[in-house]
Structure 1
Amino acid sequence: MTWLLLLGTCGLTCLGQVAQKCAVERWHGTFPGVLAALRSFWLWLAMACLGLGLLGWLLVLQRLEVGIAYPMLGLNVVLITLASRFVFKESIDAVHWLGVALILAGVVLLGRQA
């Protein structure tokens, strides 16, 4: 259950970051002002996902040692890299992919300690 909660927290955090990016892309390089920003579906989705992710993170910290739980958030780097490549069509170079592979290896190694 704890691992599912951790994965859900990572997923919500990633979705929140993607929604933030979608919000600012719609602003076409200029902040539209607070009232216009508050009418953005993407901004509200980002705040909801990040808020729920925070609550999930608090539950994870109740169940896992912080020394194990915190490095698992490295999965966010992996998820965001995948989202940037496949959702936003950003180019990712080989060094970045190597970093992602190393992060995944670290997450697997630390996950085995828990």
Structure 2
Amino acid sequence: MSLILLLVACLLTCLGQVAQKYAVESWRGEDSSWAEKLRSPWLWLALLSLGFGLLVWLLVLQRLEVGVAYPMLSLNFVLITLVARFVFHETVDRRHWLGVALVMGGVVLLGQHA
């Protein structure tokens, strides 16, 4: 159950990051006031996702040692890299993919401990 909660926390955090990206992309090139920006559905999705992610993270910390749980949040690095490449069509070089592979290896090692 702890690992499922950890995965949910990661997914909510990643959703929040992606929603933030969409929010700022929708503002690009527009001369809008802060009041208009605050009405962005992407911004509100980001805030809700990150807020719920925080609540789930607190549940994770009740169940796992912080020394195990926190490094496993590096899954966010992997997920955001995949989103950057396949959703936002950003270039990801070989060194970055090597970093992703190393992070995944570390997560697998930590997952065996949890």
Report the TM-score range of the alignment, normalised by the length of the smaller protein: over 0.9
- Which aligned pairs between 1:1-114 and structure 2 lie closer than 5 A? 1-29=1-29, 32-114=32-114
Q: Aligned pair in 2 of structure 1 residues 69, 48: CA closer, same or farther (>3 Å)?
A: same
TM-score, scaled relative to structure 2: 0.96
Q: Aligned pair in 2 of structure 1 residues 42, 65: CA closer, same or farther (>3 Å)?
A: same
Q: Give the C-alpha shift of residue 72 in structure 1.
A: 0.4
Q: Which runs of 5 or more structure 2 residues have no equivalent in the other structure?
A: none
Equivalent position SS for 1:92: coil
Aligned-partner residue type, residue 46 of structure 1? A
TM-score, scaled relative to structure 1: 0.96
User: Identity over aligned residues, as a percent?
Assistant: 67
CA distance, structure 1, for counterparts of residue 21 and residue 30 of structure 2: 13
Equivalent position SS for 2:27: coil
CA distance, structure 2, for counterparts of residue 31 and residue 54 of structure 1: 32
Aligned-partner residue type, residue 113 of structure 1? H
Aligned-partner residue type, residue 48 of structure 1? L
Equivalent residues, number: 114
Residues 103-112 or 28-37, more deviating: 28-37
Q: Give the C-alpha shift of residue 32 in structure 1.
A: 3.0
CA-atom RMSD in angstroms: 1.2
CA distance, structure 2, for counterparts of residue 6 and residue 76 of structure 1: 11
